[in-house]
Structure 1
């Protein structure tokens, strides 16, 4: 056994990220780790790479206990991780990235450094000019450079975290060919992916995590896709039950009309959201759901197509135009995009509606606090008052503030991107309950998420796979069928259905 993690428990405050979980990886195989968001995969990776220690449990490499956390070189000799977000420094050359912080001696001999870099890449058959700035490399090339850098530490266990999320079909095929070649040379991979069809293409064994626990491990060949999806979703009842809603009246006007929208080099996407309708965009990493949602609200400029909100064609890539048209947004990353941590709750809730707070550029504190207090009460934000800094709130209450800011302008269209990521159960109930409230008032809602609870409130769910719409579900769908469609099971790299033999 090359890697053994046993009895791993990790807590963050009251949140249990892993509970008595384990993973065993045999030398020379490609082992898949799968599970829904929040299953504990990322936490386990951070423990396997020595970025943090478990509260309970042990990690062993080739039968020996893992090194102390401070001995980074020892960890690099045992394991390396190629993350979805590249760790390559764009402004440095390929050679400089390969030997960063480990050049021999106090004086850098640049010729020798470049020769060593070229020899390293040649050893692992990576055809990249070592003198090029890393920022000029394609995503596929950056990944190969990172793999070569990891191998240069003599690590023979490499974790690939969503490696195909930003690759097209041919690049994915080349990556898989490279993985098979390295596996023949004794390299062991832990492969993490939301696309289950990739698991069946490249992996030997698979482990499923669900709700911070290890569920099952077994050979990929003997685990049908239906069994794998069932292990990921479980039999637990839905947090948000689907309410039986009557269909919208015929002729209900569209509050959002997306026509031939191109967010990348993929195919165009078209869809409508009627007033009072909730439409979901579902898919795993690299599906394009987030890019479409961010384009609708003006955070991204499309390569083509139009976005029309309540009859107004929006200026491409313009957040002010979206706000003026009546669009509210709950972004995916609340810390980076959702709020200003040092400002008060009241300031965050009302920052997009200054005209409602006063005249001639002056803001009435009384009006601001009145509007903020109403939103605080509506969303059940736990706070002693509106003047508290948002940074002092829990994650769930911070997300409620982000939702409140989106509602402050009485939006005609509400766009939610992973709206309940990283929040507690009670906060999730509140946030998703808001969706039912606003739809009853005629607001259209677009939900971009791969969380099943987020999608249960939708009237329709459009499933995307590698930038293409591959399925559409009404309000009556099963967890199994939706997850299978999201993971691309039964489809080729272009998203086309593969008929069962």
Structure 2
């Protein structure tokens, strides 16, 4: 087998405005390997994938594939023959058959008409060659996640690429499907296919990969054989610290019955058998990597999803599953994951966005008393220190940090008994982050039970305790005072003592 690297990236720099997404980063992947690329959120992994697949050009540095310079960005066929990426979100078109997906826009024709028999025959031969057992006539929408991934891998190989990037391939798979995927990867590896494996679950790196590269803060930190790198050293490389201790806060948790009680909550395929309680004044973290189920659990509590089974009680109320107004009426405040698509109505004013959760308090029936609305909005604007010339300004005109303050203000406007937050400081500057977390602590000090679903360590340091989800199941509970490497290892599914 050739020893020329399949990919050799040297001193790659990529900037987006003032943000340096890649800072003189390196990567070398040898043929026939399954090479892991790991790092915390914001480490630069996604930007590197965009560079490796020809979706963006680096500002400086060099990139070789099989010892040769890569094509220009416009030469898409040249890129497809060298590299393919199977993303966490499938690119398979569900309304088309397997055969049509495999040869989309490449169907054999005769006098302008598609020769469907030839297309199906070529699809069958392709799947047989790469050991994929799927009926090519079957609608792709009927396939499971695992089968769709196999189809995407086969399609990428049909262009001639023998280097495949797998971006979080196990995020939506159960244990059996993961085992089958790993077996398939190993078989393809024996046939000369090289993989770059990106995963938040570090145990998978030890299960399937030969070599691992770690990125941190947009930079290359280390590359080493997996067999020679102990798990604690890998986690330490990712975090940059192996002895950072989460600062303990004076807990505001009060004695007495829990105000949020979750019992055996399950929603396939996202999470199963989740149970926990949160006391008044307590801040509990729900941590997990991508695909862990933490976001879906939080959205279920807020009524955005209906669980298949289990119960959620807020005080003496049991809101109807999948019913947001019922969750609000029970006393639950909510900050969603994506403020742009879930948290704000861009065309509405700051006042309207701030008071959307308490419309029933602003007037009789469907009518809103504008004066009452503006007074309440003004109170919340002052409380959250939203920088706006007035409550009538369109919320879209605010900065990102101030928009997030508006989302938080709405969650707090109803004086909730329970506050559920999903990555509440995402996309805001340091000062806004500190301010928002201070308001969360202030709410807890007033007796509100708080659940923070996040994989950001700064968010989790605020918590009295942290519960960790891995592949949809609660695996670990950590008391305040945990070290960074402990919570990161738990989220990544790694047993540091193994």
What TM-score do you get using the length of structure 1 for normalisation? 0.93
1:246 Cα offset (Å): 4.5
Q: In 1, Cα distance between the equivalents of 2:297 and 2:20?
A: 33
Which residue pairs with 2:127 in the alignment? 121
Write out aligned runs for 1:251-290 (5 A): 251-264=255-268, 267-290=272-295
1:241 is displaced (CA, Å) by 6.4
Q: Cα deviations across residues 142-191 of structure 1 (Å, max 9, x unaligned)?
A: 00000001001111111101100111111111111111111111111110
Matching of residue 489 in structure 1 with residue 494 in structure 2: yes
The counterpart of 1:386, out of the listed 383, 391, 405, is: 391
Do the aligned residues in 2 keep the contact of 1:353 with 1:409 (CA within 8 Å)?
yes
Q: Please identify, of 109-118 and 452-461, the stretch whose mean Cα deviation from structure 2 is larger.
A: 109-118
Structure 1 position 247, deviation (Å): 6.8
Q: CA deviation at 1:359?
A: 3.0
For 1:213-270, what per-residue CA distance to the aligned partner results, in whole angstroms no more than 9, with x for missing partners? Answer: 21111111111110010011113997x9634315734x33311011121122664121
Change (3 A) 1:4 1:377: farther
Whole-angstrom distance in 2 between the partners of 1:158 and 1:340? 40
For 1:9 and 1:340, the matched residues in 2 are separated by 36
Superimposed CA distance per residue, residues 258-293 of structure 1 (whole angstroms, 9 cap, x where no aligned partner): 112112266412111001101111111232212211
Task: Report the Cα distance in structure 2 between the residues aligned to 1:226 and 1:235, rounded to whole angstroms.
Answer: 11
Q: Give the match for residue 189 of structure 2.
A: 183
- State whether structure 2 residue 92 is matched by structure 1 residue 88: yes
Aligned partners of 1:51, 1:388: CA distance in 2, in Å?
Answer: 37
1:306, 1:314 within 8 Å by CA — same for their partners in 2? no
Deviation at 1:6, TM superposition (A): 2.2
Instruction: Give the corresponding residue for 1:217.
Output: 223
Which of residues 148, 153, 168 is equivalent to 2:174? 168
- 1:307–1:313 contact (8 Å) kept in structure 2: yes
Uncovered stretches (5+) of structure 1, i.e. residues with no partner: 492-498
2:75 corresponds to 1:75 = no
Task: Tell me the residue number matched to 2:9.
Answer: 5
C-alpha distance in structure 1 between counterparts of 2:402 and 2:157, whole Å = 43
Of residues 199, 204, 207 in structure 1, which corresponds to 2:205?
199
Match of 1:494 in 2: none
Structure 1 contact 298–321 (Cα < 8 Å) conserved: yes
**Which of 16, 24, 31 is residue 28 of structure 2 equivalent to?**
24
Distance of aligned partners of 1:108 and 1:380 in 2 relative to their CA distance in 1, 3 Å threshold: farther
Change (3 A) 1:4 1:396: farther
Query: Secondary structure at the residue paired with 1:78?
Result: coil
Name the structure 2 match of 1:403: 408
1:315-334 Cα shifts (integer Å, max 9, x gaps): 11111110111111111122
Which 10-residue stretch deviates more, 431-440 or 342-351? 342-351
Tell me how far apart the structure 2 counterparts of residues 66 and 364 of structure 1 sit (CA, whole Å): 62
RMSD over equivalenced CA pairs, Å = 2.0
Contact 1:449 1:455 in 2 (8 A): yes
Match of residue 473 from structure 1:
478
Partner of 1:183: helix, strand, or coil? helix
Which residue in 2 is equivalent to 1:334?
339
CA contact (8 A) 1:162 1:194 kept: yes
CA distance in 1, matches of 2:87, 2:149: 9
Q: Which residue of 2 aligns with 1:376?
A: 381
Q: Contact 1:160 / 1:190 at 8 angstroms: preserved in 2?
A: yes
Within a 5 Å distance, the mapping from 1:290-309 to structure 2 comes to 290-309=295-314
Contact 2:241 2:485 in 1 (8 A): no
TM-score of the superposed pair, with normalisation by structure 2: 0.94
